[in-house]
Amino acid sequence: MNDTIIKVDNLSKRYRIGVQDVIHDSLIASIFSWVKSPISNFRRVQKLSKFNGEDGQDIIWALKDISFNVKKGEIIGIIGRNGAGKSTLLKILSRIVEPTDGQASVYGRVASLLEIGTGFHRELSGRENIYLNGTILGMTKNEIKENFDEIVEFSEIGKFLDTPVKRYSSGMYVRLAFAVAAHLNPEILIVDEVLAVGDAAFQKKCLGKMSETAKSGRTVLFVSHNMHTIQDLCDRTILLEDGKVALDGDTSEVIKHYLQPEMMKTGESDLTDDFRSRKSPGKLRAKAIRILDKNNEICSTYEINDPINIELDITNVNDNGFAVSFLIFNQQGALVYHIRSQDGNIITKNLGSAATIRMTIPRLNIIQGRYSVDVWLGNHLDLLEDHVESTISFEVVNRGHSKVPLRSIIHETGKWQIIKN
Amino acid sequence: MVLRELQMKSNSSSFTREIIIKPKTGWQIINWKELKEYKDLIYFLVLRDVTSLYKQTVLGFSWAILRPFIKMVIFSVVFGGLAKIPSDGIPYPLFVYAGLVPWEYFSTSLTKSTGSLITGVGIYTKVYFPRLILPIVPCIAILVDFAIALSIVFILMLYYGYALSITILYLPILMILMILFTTGLGIWLSALAIQYRDVTHGVQFLVQILMYAAPVIYPISWLPESYRIYLAIYPMYGVIEGFRAALLGQNAMPWDIIGMGAISAFVMLISGAYYFKRKERIFADVA
């Protein structure tokens, strides 16, 4: 029996991102370029939809040769870092954008939920927006009519049904939008990260509704950064990396692999140009990163209360200076530290063409576990030049100390005193 | 009855079709059947445009009357009073208002239709539906304004002592021609505007040129006979003159001009729809 409901074959998607404008250094040059700008603008705009074979520097492949099959009734999680191609994949399967290459066959009615509240009109009432949003999502007027009372009840907006939605609080707006979406009844449901909205209680209600939908035999493709949700809802998960399928299989296995990139280096790491998950729209480059202990020696294991030094070699520096951020994540993907050079009053102007900077955290104060470091490099205007994810990792251990509870991320002993006895 | 409903329901859910998603090249056929399946969406988008247009205004739908009415007053003073443009013996205010009713429909719908893919970007980059719906919707929604403005013609006719003539039965034909041409041109311009935003800036000049090309403020008898044949390919030329003939029953219906206009309106609509379909696949990428 052939119960394949989605069949994806070598799907690829190419995008052209705008090339940076040339900055002119003389008045004559800028006047000249202004005069001929209509011609170059026309070429540039036309190029948005035309590709001439050669892969220029402004072309990126958001997806490259993706293949997988989905069986009827499967609930599939799709995970991956930002820019891995998750949303592009969903957009292609929802027929919003067309693939550059390859093909996908979909058997059945698809509803996609890449955003909630699509097409909501601020001036219209909640009632009017339920019908509008519902038909945009692919429901018929009769289907909405049948579910209308249930939608209103689910949204908890009650007496505000006939108020224009612009008067709604953001919470009410989200609840109404989700209530419509939750009553979609397609054979295939495609959901992007839409649950990251609303208050905790409503989120839980939505998740409940979602898993109910999923259990009733519908096929669901679900993108999320929240590993708990993925773990709860999906049996099978696909990990995307740089537009390719890195892993496809049992959810727990895939999540484990995703959260512990074994190839990540410790101690010292060279950041080559083709380093995985790197986005480099500018010239500035992070060249190498090191983690040093209090004796300035390269080290990969630290005590909970140890100081830590992170050193970064930067090339292609210009005299305007730059800004650096280090982002430290734990194994669950939570951002533990976001440390920015702008906050540290160092002057990065006129350093020559290469520089090495060092950032010290005097006391780590984080519980035992493995942590990874992302590097973010910006120019003097704080615009992104180079962003490298998972550059290096280090381990925090608990040797000499008393037993540290593992429930929090931050470990703080606190300063305790008895002020009344 | 209930049984039939149930049957229909099960039919619709067991009906599975295969959708192949792959790069398309060249010209695409227009899927009329799919457009029909989305009739509820068209209905609610039209309803949205109609109900939201005059929300939070004091005068509400009166604006649909006021806009052509104020223009009528201005034009009557400037063109009828000062410039002494003839009006085939019809009182100039009535003459110009009868022309403004279809003209206002055309210019408002065209402007909205041209920008429809730009204002609708938040919808079609998130959900699939036939994109052709977007430029069509304003051309339907503005018909409400059109109907309101049209009703005022009859009051003006009463005021100036004009009786309704049998020629008013031709009005629906002229309206269909007006709608087809407006939609066709709107589809063309919307597909161009999404990639070349210049079109949205340029359309206001286009509308102005087209107004003076159409006999809104002057009668066609005012122009040399030799111009008529060229202007006839512009459908609003025949539509506006036809509106006057149908409403006021004074001049004969210019069927030759209307016929020419009908041909070019059809060409505009069909070519526009095909151009749109060809460009459709890049909308979400370039928007």
| Residue B48 contacts A, CB cutoff 8 Å | yes
> Is A187 close to B56, i.e. CB distance below 8 A?
no
Please check whether residues A100 and A238 belong to one and the same domain: yes
Please compute the mean of the pLDDT values over residues A378-393 and round it to a whole number: 86
Please compute the mean of the pLDDT values over residues A192-206 and round it to a whole number: 67
Of B17, B21, B196, the CB nearest to A95: B21
Domain end among A211, A236, A259:
A259
Residue B9: predicted pLDDT = 38
What separation in angstroms does the CA of B109 have from each of B103, B135, B138, B203, B265? 10, 9, 6, 12, 15
Q: How far is B263 from chain A (nearest CA, A)?
A: 31
pLDDT surpasses 80 at A56: no
Please check whether residues A237 and A282 belong to one and the same domain: no
Residue A418 lies in a domain: no
Residue A293 lies in a domain: yes
On chain B, the residues whose CB falls within 8 A of the CB of A48 are 195, 282, 285-286
On chain A, the residues whose CB falls within 8 A of the CB of B13 are 187
Placement of tokens 């050193």 in the chain: A311
On chain B, the residues whose CB falls within 8 A of the CB of A94 are 127-128
CATH, residue A369:
2.70.50.60
ipTM of the prediction: 0.83
Q: Confidence band (pLDDT; 50, 70, 90) for A197?
A: low
Residue A42: predicted pLDDT = 77
The secondary element (H helix, E strand) that includes residue B71 is helix B62-75
What separation in angstroms does the CA of B281 have from each of A54, A137, A302, B138, B285? 21, 19, 54, 22, 8
On chain A, the residues whose CB falls within 8 A of the CB of B18 are 105-107
Domain that holds residue B231: 31-286
Please check whether residues A152 and A296 belong to one and the same domain: no
Round the average pLDDT of chain B to a whole number and report it: 87
pLDDT surpasses 60 at A262: no
Residue B32: predicted pLDDT = 83
Compute how many other C-beta atoms are within 10 angstroms of the C-beta atom of residue A29: 12
CATH, residue A187:
3.40.50.300
What angle is formed at CA B26 by the lines to CA B23 and CA B27, rounded to 5 degrees?
Answer: 115
Residue B20 lies in a domain: no
**Single pTM value for the model:** 0.73
Residue B8 lies in a domain: no
Q: Confidence band (pLDDT; 50, 70, 90) for B1?
A: very low
Q: How far is B266 from chain A (nearest CA, A)?
A: 28
Residue A45 lies in a domain: no
| Residue B82 contacts A, CB cutoff 8 Å | no
List pLDDT tens digits, range A292-307. 999 999 988 898 889 9
Q: For A5, which DSSP code?
A: E
Within the 136-195 window of chain B, which residues sit less than 8 Å (CB to CB) from chain A? 195
Partnered with residue A192 across adjacent β-strands are none
Compute how many other C-beta atoms are within 10 angstroms of the C-beta atom of residue A145: 12
- Among A223-237, B45-59, B113-127, whose mean pLDDT is lowest? A223-237
Residue B21 lies in a domain: no
Residue A372 lies in a domain: yes
Provide the number of structural domains found in chain B. Answer: 1
Helical spans, DSSP H, in A83-242: 86-93, 126-136, 141-155, 170-182, 200-215, 227-233
Please check whether residues A99 and A236 belong to one and the same domain: yes
Residue A289 lies in a domain: yes
Of A104, A123, A132, the CB nearest to B56: A123
Round the average pLDDT of chain A to a whole number and report it: 83
Percent of chain B exceeding pLDDT 90 equals: 55
Please compute the mean of the pLDDT values over residues A252-257 and round it to a whole number: 84
pLDDT surpasses 50 at B141: yes
Please compute the mean of the pLDDT values over residues B203-209 and round it to a whole number: 93
Q: Confidence band (pLDDT; 50, 70, 90) for A291?
A: very high
The secondary element (H helix, E strand) that includes residue A335 is strand A335-340
Please check whether residues A126 and A250 belong to one and the same domain: yes
Neighbour-count burial of A287, counting CB atoms closer than 10 A to its CB (0-12 exposed, 13-18 middle, 19+ buried): middle
Residue A20 lies in a domain: no
d(CA A98, CA B284): 9
Q: Confidence band (pLDDT; 50, 70, 90) for A135?
A: very high
Higher pLDDT, A144 or B197: A144
> Is B21 close to A99, i.e. CB distance below 8 A?
yes
Tell how far CA B155 is from the center of its chain: 24
Percent of chain A exceeding pLDDT 70 equals: 87
Of B40, B45, B126, the CB nearest to A96: B126
The residue among B256, B226, B227, B263 whose CA lies nearest residue B241 is B256
| Residue B9 contacts A, CB cutoff 8 Å | no
Residue B263 lies in a domain: yes
Residue A9 lies in a domain: no
Domain end among A232, A259, A286:
A259
Mutate to test the interface with A, among B1, B57, B127 (most CBs of A within 10 A): B127
Please check whether residues A243 and A280 belong to one and the same domain: no
Provide the number of structural domains found in chain A. Answer: 2
Residue A296 lies in a domain: yes
Domain that holds residue A365: 268-397
